[in-house]
Chains A and B, each alone.
Chain A
Amino acid sequence: MIEFQNVTKKYGREYGLNDVTYSLEKGKIYGLLGPNGSGKSTTLKLIAGLVHPTSGQVLVNGKLANRKIANEVAYLTELDMFYQPFKIKDMIDFYATQFQDFRIDRANELLQFMKLDKEKNIKQLSKGNRGRLKLVLALAREASVLLLDEPFSGLDPMVRDSIVKGLLSYIDFDNQIVIIATHEIDEIEPLLDEVLAIQDGKIIGRHNVEELREMEGLSIIEWMKRTFKE
């Protein structure tokens, strides 16, 4: 379980998050939706313990989120997270030594699934293959929390498709909390259990996706348009 308790994160005079309180349960896939600068990345970094709240606290499985929470949280960032002189296999080996829950057999399976060659140098990889490799590194872990920050950013439809398939095949739907922060909703709409709309550091809406469809007859995009207009 992830809990935000009156969390405020300020960057100078700007609010990254502004007095936010909510919780996220295991076994669900959440979509964190919002415009640029709304607080999506800050939310994920707070959960990953990579930034610290100005006030309030973030708890992951009952533990205060600090840098050590990386033991329980797999974080895929929008940025490149590779060491350029490495080969793919070097990155895999490095992750295997750093994260106890990293499964090399699973990583190899994922590499095959994503059609990535272990012997390739990272600097030779296309943007799409870098995106695929990031997902391999995140999904090869048996972490209880999986954070994906803009996993489709700048990727072509083929890569997006392989990422969604990868998520469908390798997420532990019963035990993991998955949070996907994104603009691109089309691809992930079928995956999501709940959506949270975030704007100016505040959660301005939260809905169960199935209820949204059945009770209100809205797709996520329609709901987003309505929520952000308000």
Chain B
Amino acid sequence: MRAFKGLFIKEIKLSRNWFLIGLALFILAIFAGLALKRYFNEPEILPIVSIMILVAHGLYLPAFLITSLNTEGQSQLWLHNPNSGVKLFLAKLAAGSVYFLISLLLAMFFVHWQVNLSDHGGGVTEFIEEPFPNMMLMGVAIVLSSIYLGVWVLFYWSFYHSLKRVPIARNFRWPILIGFWILLEVVSNYIQNLPFYKNLKQSGVISLDFMKSIKIEVGDSLDTGKVVEAAEISLTNGIIYAAVVILVFFIAVWLLERKVEV
């Protein structure tokens, strides 16, 4: 635990500036939204900007990890460490998650505030009922997506650096990575279209009634009907994704331990 705490504190200290830059960009986007709102005299610009900021948080953890790993990659001397690859990677994930959650919560408060303001004026985006659970669910979805993408970043980073050891692949690491990504996409699409997988997804489905109350209205052209007609979560799908993330994480660790060289 002491080693993990040490790694975690190191990551927090090293990434403090990164976090502050992220916050600065966040504030800059708000000011840009305010400026555009005034310039076009369109009150709905700011809620839209706030929702864009929130959605962009899905890329927060992957971006954090890419930056952090690139810093280490300059010398790779972080690998002169007796602690397991699991600890080295988890410390990065944990530190990134702390900054990510702080930033996400700030973004959620801002969105909530802006959407509520917009609500009173009958604006573009409204939560008809239960705004809080809707926001929370959105937040959870962003957190899970960010972690999912973050773990893939760990994998691709380890894979990229492992290829250094393969003389033929050394100069073609980016094309190999892209080719591998395309291959995985093809395989994953194929599996997802299999009747067996579709049936599997149907088991353990939870219906989220309150999600159906989200209404997105654009001007007068769209009817104010419920846009989200069937908000459902497949537990089986969730378990499959969780299993994929865990598997990918441990492959990344294996590559780090066995194949990445200084």
A98→B13 CA distance, assembly (Å): 16
Contacts of A70 in B (CB 8 A): 80-82
Do A77 and B77 have beta carbons less than 8 Å apart?
yes
Q: Is B41 engaged at the interface, CB distance under 8 Å to the other chain? A: no
Q: Is A86 engaged at the interface, CB distance under 8 Å to the other chain? A: yes
Do B77 and A99 have beta carbons less than 8 Å apart?
no
Q: Is B65 engaged at the interface, CB distance under 8 Å to the other chain? A: no
Contacts of B165 in A (CB 8 A): 52
- Beyond A12-B170, A51-B261, A81-B75, is A99–B82 a contact (Cβ under 8 Å)? yes
Do A98 and B6 have beta carbons less than 8 Å apart?
yes
Do A79 and B77 have beta carbons less than 8 Å apart?
yes
Do B77 and A97 have beta carbons less than 8 Å apart?
no
Produce 1/0 per residue, B232-262, CB < 8 A to A: 0000000000000000000000000111011
Do B75 and A80 have beta carbons less than 8 Å apart?
yes
Do B83 and A50 have beta carbons less than 8 Å apart?
no
Contacts of B258 in A (CB 8 A): 52, 66
Produce 1/0 per residue, A50-76, CB < 8 A to B: 111000000000000011111100010
Do B14 and A83 have beta carbons less than 8 Å apart?
yes
Contacts of B198 in A (CB 8 A): none
Interface residues in A1-35 by Cβ distance below 8 A to B read: 10-13
Contacts of A97 in B (CB 8 A): 2-3, 5-7, 9
B217 to chain A, nearest CB (A): 47
Produce 1/0 per residue, A91-121, CB < 8 A to B: 0011011111000000000000000000000
Contacts of A81 in B (CB 8 A): 75, 77, 80
Q: Is A90 engaged at the interface, CB distance under 8 Å to the other chain? A: yes
Q: Is A130 engaged at the interface, CB distance under 8 Å to the other chain? A: no
Query: B166's closest neighbor in chain A, by CB?
Result: A12
A28 to chain B, nearest CB (A): 23
A93→B8 CA distance, assembly (Å): 12
Q: Is B226 engaged at the interface, CB distance under 8 Å to the other chain? A: no
Do A50 and B6 have beta carbons less than 8 Å apart?
no
Q: Is A45 engaged at the interface, CB distance under 8 Å to the other chain? A: yes
Do B13 and A85 have beta carbons less than 8 Å apart?
yes
A77→B80 CA distance, assembly (Å): 10
Number of interface residues of B (CB under 8 A): 29
Query: Which of A13, A50, A85 is close to B79, meaning CB atoms less than 8 Å apart?
Result: A50
Query: A76's closest neighbor in chain B, by CB?
Result: B80
Do A83 and B262 have beta carbons less than 8 Å apart?
no
A12→B167 CA distance, assembly (Å): 5
A88 to chain B, nearest CB (A): 14
Interface residues in B39-84 by Cβ distance below 8 A to A read: 75-77, 79-84
Do B257 and A67 have beta carbons less than 8 Å apart?
yes
Query: Which of B6, B16, B76 is close to A94, meaning CB atoms less than 8 Å apart?
Result: B6
Query: A99's closest neighbor in chain B, by CB?
Result: B82
Q: Is B38 engaged at the interface, CB distance under 8 Å to the other chain? A: no
Do B75 and A75 have beta carbons less than 8 Å apart?
no
Q: Is B193 engaged at the interface, CB distance under 8 Å to the other chain? A: no
A68→B87 CA distance, assembly (Å): 12
Do A50 and B14 have beta carbons less than 8 Å apart?
no
Do B262 and A50 have beta carbons less than 8 Å apart?
yes
Do B81 and A67 have beta carbons less than 8 Å apart?
yes
Query: A54's closest neighbor in chain B, by CB?
Result: B165
Q: Is A198 engaged at the interface, CB distance under 8 Å to the other chain? A: no
Q: Is A192 engaged at the interface, CB distance under 8 Å to the other chain? A: no
Do B262 and A98 have beta carbons less than 8 Å apart?
no
Contacts of A209 in B (CB 8 A): none
Q: Is A220 engaged at the interface, CB distance under 8 Å to the other chain? A: no
A108→B16 CA distance, assembly (Å): 27
A138 to chain B, nearest CB (A): 11
Query: Which of A10, A68, A83, A85 is close to B82, meaning CB atoms less than 8 Å apart?
Result: A68
Contacts of B170 in A (CB 8 A): 12
A99→B80 CA distance, assembly (Å): 10
Do A45 and B81 have beta carbons less than 8 Å apart?
no
In the complex, 29 of the A-B residue pairs with CB atoms within 8 angstroms, ordered by the A residue number, are A45-B262, A51-B261, A52-B165, A52-B261, A66-B257, A66-B258, A67-B79, A67-B257, A68-B82, A68-B84, A70-B81, A71-B82, A77-B75, A79-B77, A80-B75, A81-B77, A83-B10, A85-B13, A86-B13, A94-B9, A94-B10, A96-B6, A97-B2, A97-B5, A97-B9, A98-B3, A98-B7, A98-B81, A98-B83
For the complex with contacts A12-B170, A67-B79, A93-B9, 13 further pairs of A-B residues with Cβ separation under 8 Å are: A10-B167, A11-B167, A50-B76, A52-B165, A66-B258, A67-B257, A68-B82, A68-B84, A70-B82, A77-B77, A80-B75, A98-B3, A98-B7
